[in-house]
């Protein structure tokens, strides 16, 4: 009897451990930054302290989620929440096929990513939070003016299929967060607050008829091509979309 | 000894919480089988009307919905968007108009309290059928905007940038048409609405 309990206990401890692994977060201290794109003025935006996942969500983790929430499986997800390419590289509902278990889960829609985080008691990071963390290199909170840093990001944009890589192989940044650059693009909670381009391609200048106040939100600094690319990409997304190079990670306002 | 077992059970039980939630959701989903895959009635979010009444979108099931996202303190495009909505309303087929709801959803739930929406409705003579004003939490609003492909961003405490899109939903809650831009020709929008409303 006692043996049995001991076994159950070990099992539980293991589950607890696995969960801890999944939910590994680091604190990000409050600070401010001037967004490279999307703000009305060059006024700094304050980012309140929060917690962010060290790694993007992996295939294994996403599989666990789908097993618990089968309505988010490949075959059962509702059309309003994801397009046809949702989890397209998975072999079936509960099998991600040849994909690396430790690679980032991609082909996930915004609705699914949001639900995943909510199920962990977390949320998606806001765009400001994400960008704030993403401007750090190994040593500095803001490395955006460093040539090397920008070169690294831009060279990644030229590489193909980095989404097949295991998480945690890029550099560990100032906050202890990995893979903000060099692996996959990531969803943010308010990705749909971008006014870069109307319906993605047609307007080079702000389309005043499509967007109220559009002209007041313009590039503050197009020098940072890397950030510009990210905003352009987000601006072209819709919440149902899922693509092979787009994953996500979760954040939390409070310590979990 | 018993205590340990109980603790183990409690632990096991607490680990199941995520799962139980999912089962609940599945059961509610299966109860509402008539809701189609692409319907906005899949959204569980709660909304408050200008009369302070709490509703789920589902309660609008069976109507043709014409929706636009605005905020009442807006000085630039929103008055024109509201005018566009009125324009549509004026052109609706009188016989089938009762099947249509014209809905203004606030993107600024902090400022746009039900009272604020009510006074906006009254001052714009829109505090009656077929008009309806809705607000929810910032999270639900962001999600709803995502469904409509409406982008918005707060650019100062009293100012938002937002897409000018009027969306039409059929009685099943499926998005069937979107009119983009301000003061554009609305013939097609009106035709779509009348067509759908006549089917009911």
Fold of A2-252: 3.90.1580
Class of domain B40-199: alpha beta
Whether residues A38 and B153 touch (CB distance < 8 A) is answered with yes
Domain boundaries, chain B: 2-31, 40-199
pLDDT for res A151: 84
Q: What is the mean pLDDT of residues A184-204?
A: 67
Residues of chain B above pLDDT 70, percent:
84
Average pLDDT, chain A: 83
C-alpha A215: how far from its chain's center? 28
pLDDT for res A117: 96
Q: What is the mean pLDDT of residues A99-111?
A: 96
Size of interface A-B (CB pairs under 8 A): 109
**pLDDT over 60 at A84, yes or no:** yes
- Euclidean distance between CA atoms A126 and A131, whole angstroms: 9
CA distance B100 to chain A (A): 22
pTM summary value: 0.80
Q: What is the mean pLDDT of residues A194-199?
A: 53
Query: Which residues from chain A sit within 8 angstroms of residue B182, using beta carbons?
Result: 209
Q: Which residue of chain A is at minimal alpha-carbon distance from B70? A: A212
pLDDT in tens, A136-167: 999 999 988 888 888 888 888 888 899 999 99
Domain boundaries, chain A: 2-252
List beta partners, residue B134: B49, B105
A29 in contact with B, Cβ within 8 Å = no
> What ipTM, to 2 d.p.?
0.75
CA distance A79 to chain B (A): 5
Q: Which residue of chain B is at minimal alpha-carbon distance from A75? A: B37
Whether residues B40 and A38 touch (CB distance < 8 A) is answered with no
pLDDT for res B74: 81
Residue B47 CB partners (closer than 8 Å, separation 6+):
B54, B55, B56, B57, B134, B135, B136, B140
Nearest to B159 among A192, A195, A213 (CB): A213
Pick the more confident residue, A91 or B163: A91
Question: Which pair of structure tokens corresponds to residue A68?
Answer: 């618990």
Least confident of A137-151, A159-173, A200-214, B127-141: A200-214
Portion 129-188 of A in contact with B at CB < 8 A: none
Q: Which residue of chain A is at minimal alpha-carbon distance from B22? A: A69
Q: If pLDDT is split at 50, 70 and 90, which confidence band does B20 have? A: very low
pLDDT in tens, A160-188: 899 999 999 999 999 999 999 999 999 99
Q: If pLDDT is split at 50, 70 and 90, which confidence band does A189 have? A: very high
Query: What is the distance in angstroms between the CA of the first residue and the CA of the last residue of chain B?
Result: 66
Q: What is the mean pLDDT of residues B9-32?
A: 43
Q: What is the mean pLDDT of residues B29-41?
A: 73
Q: What is the mean pLDDT of residues B162-167?
A: 89
Pick the more confident residue, B73 or A247: A247
Whether residues B39 and A199 touch (CB distance < 8 A) is answered with no
Query: What is the distance in angstroms between the CA of the first residue and the CA of the last residue of chain A?
Result: 34
Pick the more confident residue, A216 or A175: A175
The phi, psi pair for A154, rounded to 5°, reads -65, -35
Matching residue, tokens 């109980």? B6
pLDDT in tens, A7-44: 556 555 555 444 544 569 999 999 998 886 655 566 78
pLDDT for res A23: 64
- Euclidean distance between CA atoms B179 and A191, whole angstroms: 22
Question: Which pair of structure tokens corresponds to residue A67?
Answer: 């097993």
Interface mutation vs chain B, best among A20, A45, A206, A212, most B CBs within 10 Å: A212
A206 in contact with B, Cβ within 8 Å = no
**pLDDT over 80 at A2, yes or no:** no
Query: Which residues from chain A sit within 8 angstroms of residue B15, using beta carbons?
Result: 12, 15
Pick the more confident residue, B2 or B98: B98
């Amino acid at each position: 009897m006692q043996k049995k309990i001991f076994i159950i206990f070990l099992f539980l401890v293991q589950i607890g451990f696995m969960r801890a692994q999944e939910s590994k977060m680091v604190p990000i201290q409050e600070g401010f930054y001037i967004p490279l794109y999307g703000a009305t003025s060059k006024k700094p935006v304050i980012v309140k302290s929060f917690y962010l996942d060290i790694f993007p969500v992996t295939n294994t983790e996403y599989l666990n989620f789908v097993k618990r929430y089968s309505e988010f499986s490949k075959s059962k997800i509702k059309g309003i929440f994801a397009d046809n390419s949702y989890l397209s590289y998975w072999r079936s509902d509960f099998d991600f096929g040849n994909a690396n278990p430790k690679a980032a889960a991609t082909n996930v829609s915004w609705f699914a990513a949001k639900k995943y985080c909510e199920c962990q008691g977390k949320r998606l990071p806001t765009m400001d939070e994400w960008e704030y963390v993403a401007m750090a290199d190994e040593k500095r909170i803001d490395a955006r003016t460093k040539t090397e840093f920008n070169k690294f990001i831009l060279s990644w944009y030229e590489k193909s299929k980095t989404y097949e890589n295991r998480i945690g192989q890029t550099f560990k940044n100032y906050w202890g967060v990995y893979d903000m650059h060099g692996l996959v693009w990531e969803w943010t909670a308010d990705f749909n607050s971008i006014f870069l381009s109307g319906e993605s391609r047609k307007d080079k200048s702000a389309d005043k008829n499509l967007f109220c106040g559009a002209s007041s939100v313009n590039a503050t600094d197009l020098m940072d091509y890397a950030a510009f690319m990210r905003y352009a990409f987000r601006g072209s997304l819709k919440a149902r979309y899922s693509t092979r190079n787009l994953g996500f990670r979760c954040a939390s306002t409070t310590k979990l | 000894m018993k205590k340990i077992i109980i603790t183990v059970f409690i632990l096991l039980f607490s680990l199941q919480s995520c799962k139980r939630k999912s089962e609940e959701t599945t059961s509610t989903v299966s109860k509402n089988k008539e809701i189609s895959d692409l319907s906005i009635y899949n959204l569980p979010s709660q909304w408050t009307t200008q009369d302070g009444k709490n509703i789920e979108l589902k309660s609008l099931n069976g109507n043709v919905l014409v929706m636009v996202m605005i905020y009442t303190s807006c000085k630039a495009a929103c008055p024109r968007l509201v005018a566009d909505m009125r324009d549509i309303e004026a052109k609706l087929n009188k016989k089938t108009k009762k099947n249509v709801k014209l809905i203004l959803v606030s993107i600024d739930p902090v400022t746009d309290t039900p009272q604020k929406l009510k006074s906006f409705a009254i001052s714009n003579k829109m505090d009656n059928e077929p008009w309806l004003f809705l607000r929810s939490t910032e999270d639900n609003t962001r999600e709803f905007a995502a469904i409509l492909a409406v982008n918005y961003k707060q650019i100062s405490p009293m100012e938002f940038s937002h897409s000018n899109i009027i969306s039409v939903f059929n009685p099943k809650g499926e998005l069937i048409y979107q009119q983009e831009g301000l003061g554009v020709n609305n013939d097609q929008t009106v035709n779509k609405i009348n067509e759908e409303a006549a089917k009911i």
